[in-house]
Structure 1
Amino acid sequence: MRISLSLSILLGFGFGATAFAEGVDLGPRPAYLVSQMNPGPLRDKLAACIGNPAKPSLFSISHRGAPLQFPEHTEEGYRAAALMGAGILECDVTFTADKELVCRHSQNDLHTTTNILATDLAAKCTSGFKPASGGDPASAECRTSDISLAEFRSLKGKMDSADKQAQSVEDYMNGTASWRTELYGATGTLMTHAESIALFKDLGVKFTPELKSPKIDMPHDGFSQADYAQKLIDEYKQAGIPPEDVFAQSFRLDDVLYWIENEPEFGKQAVFLDGRRDINPQDPSTFSPSMQELKEMGVNYIAPPLFVLLSVEDGKIVPSAYAKAAKEAGLDLITWTLERSGPLNTGGGWYYQTVSDVIKSDGDMLEVVDVLAGDVGVKGIFSDWPATTSFYASCMGLK
């Protein structure tokens, strides 16, 4: 396995990977967020927890590592997430030209998440770099399926970004949002899915791999969607990981149903990522299949974006009809993604769209977490900076 100790050395730690699970370092951000909250009982409760020792929590789910500041799906980002107390880490899973599973958010994001365009491998990309011209933005498309595993290993992860006005590859690769950072952007160590399993096991955390929808037609060279879904599970079985420690995810309901039918011990914790855009969170008639139908199919976990679970009544954030229907059907809820919207002083954008009228500052993020945890009853929240959810969970005594 190609698991280095680069982040451990960077942060001055002198112990092995398993020690991350024994001591949580939340850093200054939770205290900053509390300082931005409106006065009230919740702020007082959270303020009293600032500086207290924190523990890892299954409520705190790392989204792609710690991509608020670290390149996503890299060893360095995963180690940072574990250090911040995330009890569950995510490897988004796709595959290379030789059908090897690797951690990437999409099969076609190498041009924005790695340095591939600055290497000789750019010649293998589905679409090479094209500068902005007239009204057309700069573009490129590089897929994991364009290259072999050996070639994938030669790349470095970078902050997910692209300057759509760029005239050069260098400028195109340098489009990181102002509220993120390039401070840790030079050391992104890419990982295979199997390597992520070994690392997460050493870190003492649980696993939530997401089977990403292929960008190429399936079956691919005899590799079917079922083969793909099965290979993901097989790599946990080969590593001796108990099924109860794995929360396999997919936006494709058929993938979840495949696991339920063919790998029932893993399928009972499979997560249906609900990205359906035709759902009205306040109108249960738009939930097709319905929550009860999903439950009858064997689905136990459903995970929509956080705005789907929230509404506003009398100026207060409350659970949506979607959240109530899921609870009534006996479905466990997980949601995404905290710390992915930048500063919230303009309403929070896409992730907060159903509650944007009452989102005024970064401190409102913790108000949202409190409603999701206490009123909606989510089992966990994906975050781009797990210190926030770990802090809340430790303060409130969540496991």
Structure 2
Amino acid sequence: MESVAPHLPLVIGHRGASGYRPEHTAEAYRLAFELGADAVEPDVVFSLDGVPVVRHENEISGTTDVAAHPEFAARHTSRTVDGIEESGWFTEDFTWAELQTLRARERLPKVRPESAAYDDRFEVLRLAEVLAIADEASAARGVPLAVVVEVKHATHFGSRGFDVVALLRAELAAAGWDARPEQLILESFEQTVLDELRATGLPGRYIYLVEDAGAAFDLVTRDGAEAVSYAEQLTDAGLAPLAGAVDGISVDKSLILPRDARGAALPVTDVVARAHRAGLAVFTWTLRSEKRFVPRDLSWEEEYALILGSGVDGVFADQPDLAIAVRGRAYT
């Protein structure tokens, strides 16, 4: 098999082709690969019995039909996750067998009514099922396609007694994905869990996610008000230690292409160049074509071109075919 050309930034189907189908469903993942994505990104949370479940959040009222199941009404609760109190239904209160009775729904139905038309048709997935879809797509296309596994809320799940690292390793091993450094990418907003996974010898690329504000929850849990902020980690002094611990960073796109108070684009920053000088790859998220997600003075094509032109190594895209089209024009 031939790999994707190294000079091309990866186009990663964000939660699958989530601009076209309800996110984190088999149909969204298969469509992303059919549209040409180099990789897909499943977010991983956990069920009561320790199954790595593919959902953006452990609170699932907005992306499943759980509220329509009277047998689960009593499990509606409030819980603090990463310092934020939320109300709803949480994956850690359901067994995997119970979660399999739910059906997925579009998270942004008013923005994406075409995707919402598929509500209640598709099942909730576990990580192994996404890995199997990537295997099928790799065989069909004749290249080794990648999976970017995002570990969500590791500190939260750890505090509730889940051995996040062991559960992930077991799922990857069972699927035959624990020895594929060219295909497996692991990412998290918490460096602690990445360090713990790497310490087990799990081969792959390790990517640290960086928000445009605040601080990582594992650091807040450990250091309180003294926790180093994401902004401090993106200074030259902050990037240096990251380069010794992870292979790259993945930043909110506003850190590359910021906006003014009116929502118009400002000049592209030097964050990509500085991270590269520190020896780090740079991914960014999320390219979305709907106007509400694009700077007010740009078309989505113009925004994509500026971000791809910044030198990034990968982009997460809800409509991967559109990112691929702009990449093709930018790299010819």
Same fold (TM over 0.5): yes
The amino acid that maps onto 1:306 is K
Instruction: Compute the displacement of 1:385 (Å).
Output: 1.1
Rg larger for: 1
1:324 aligns with 2:262: no
- Distance in structure 2 (CA, Å) of the matches to 1:114 and 1:78: 17
Partner of 1:234: 170
Q: Show CA shifts across 1:173-216 (max 9, x none).
A: xxx22444322224222211111111111111311111110585
8 A contact 1:250–1:273 mirrored in 2 = yes
Q: Show CA shifts across 1:1-59 (max 9, x none).
A: xxxxxxxxxxxxxxxxxxxxxxxxxxxxxxxxxxxxxxxxxxxxxxxxxxxxxxxx862
Instruction: Compute the displacement of 1:125 (Å).
Output: 2.5
What does 1:91-110 align with in structure 2 at a 5 Å threshold?
91-108=42-59, 110=60
1:192 aligns with 2:129: no
Instruction: Compute the displacement of 1:321 (Å).
Output: 3.5
Which one of the candidate residues 75, 81, 89 is aligned to 2:32?
A: 81
- Distance in structure 2 (CA, Å) of the matches to 1:382 and 1:89: 9
Per the alignment, do residues 77 and 151 of structure 1 end up closer, same or farther by CA in structure 2, a change over 3 Å counting? same
Q: Show CA shifts across 1:327-369 (max 9, x none).
A: 22121100000117x315xxx4xxx6xxx4xx425x2x22222
Which one of the candidate residues 242, 247, 254 is aligned to 1:294?
A: 242
Per the alignment, do residues 393 and 143 of structure 1 end up closer, same or farther by CA in structure 2, a change over 3 Å counting? same
- Distance in structure 2 (CA, Å) of the matches to 1:177 and 1:396: 32
Structure 2 gap segments, 5+ residues each: 1-7, 79-85, 139-144, 216-228
Which one of the candidate residues 180, 184, 187 is aligned to 1:249?
A: 187
- Distance in structure 1 (CA, Å) of the matches to 2:242 and 2:39: 24
Instruction: Compute the displacement of 1:389 (Å).
Output: 1.1
What does 1:211-226 align with in structure 2 at a 5 Å threshold?
211-213=151-153, 216=156, 218-221=158-161, 223=162
- Distance in structure 1 (CA, Å) of the matches to 2:72 and 2:154: 20
Per the alignment, do residues 180 and 307 of structure 1 end up closer, same or farther by CA in structure 2, a change over 3 Å counting? farther
Partner of 1:339: 288
Q: Percent of counterpart pairs with the same letter?
A: 24
Per the alignment, do residues 312 and 187 of structure 1 end up closer, same or farther by CA in structure 2, a change over 3 Å counting? closer
What does 1:313-392 align with in structure 2 at a 5 Å threshold?
318-339=267-288, 342-344=290-292, 348=293, 356=295, 359-361=296-298, 363=299, 365-374=300-309, 376-392=310-326
Instruction: Compute the displacement of 1:103 (Å).
Output: 0.4
Per the alignment, do residues 317 and 118 of structure 1 end up closer, same or farther by CA in structure 2, a change over 3 Å counting? same
The amino acid that maps onto 1:259 is L
Instruction: Compute the displacement of 1:158 (Å).
Output: 0.6
8 A contact 1:71–1:160 mirrored in 2 = yes
TM-score, normalisation: structure 2: 0.78
- Distance in structure 1 (CA, Å) of the matches to 2:155 and 2:105: 21
Q: Show CA shifts across 1:234-269 (max 9, x none).
A: 322332231221111100011122233322522xx1
Q: Which shifted more, 147-156 or 254-263?
A: 254-263
Partner of 2:83: none
Aligned residues: 292
1:208 aligns with 2:208: no
Instruction: Compute the displacement of 1:150 (Å).
Output: 0.4
Partner of 2:19: 68
- Distance in structure 1 (CA, Å) of the matches to 2:27 and 2:239: 38
Per the alignment, do residues 322 and 68 of structure 1 end up closer, same or farther by CA in structure 2, a change over 3 Å counting? same
8 A contact 2:52–2:171 mirrored in 1 = no
The amino acid that maps onto 1:194 is A
Instruction: Compute the displacement of 1:220 (Å).
Output: 2.9
8 A contact 2:9–2:308 mirrored in 1 = no
Instruction: Compute the displacement of 1:151 (Å).
Output: 0.5
Which one of the candidate residues 245, 250, 255 is aligned to 1:303?
A: 250
Per the alignment, do residues 211 and 160 of structure 1 end up closer, same or farther by CA in structure 2, a change over 3 Å counting? same
What does 1:134-173 align with in structure 2 at a 5 Å threshold?
140-161=87-108
The amino acid that maps onto 2:47 is T
- Distance in structure 2 (CA, Å) of the matches to 1:199 and 1:264: 21
The amino acid that maps onto 1:198 is A
Structure 1 gap segments, 5+ residues each: 1-56, 129-138, 162-175
Partner of 1:8: none
Determine helix, strand or coil for the equivalent of 2:203. Answer: helix
Q: Could you list the structure 1 runs, at least 4 aligned residues long, displaced by more than 6 angstroms after superposition.
A: 283-286
- Distance in structure 2 (CA, Å) of the matches to 1:258 and 1:215: 12
Q: Which shifted more, 152-161 or 284-293?
A: 284-293
Instruction: Compute the displacement of 1:396 (Å).
Output: 4.0
Instruction: Compute the displacement of 1:126 (Å).
Output: 3.5
8 A contact 2:250–2:282 mirrored in 1 = yes
Which one of the candidate residues 77, 96, 103 is aligned to 1:127?
A: 77
Instruction: Compute the displacement of 1:387 (Å).
Output: 1.1
- Distance in structure 2 (CA, Å) of the matches to 1:397 and 1:325: 22
Per the alignment, do residues 331 and 126 of structure 1 end up closer, same or farther by CA in structure 2, a change over 3 Å counting? same
Per the alignment, do residues 143 and 286 of structure 1 end up closer, same or farther by CA in structure 2, a change over 3 Å counting? same
Per the alignment, do residues 257 and 93 of structure 1 end up closer, same or farther by CA in structure 2, a change over 3 Å counting? same
The amino acid that maps onto 1:309 is I
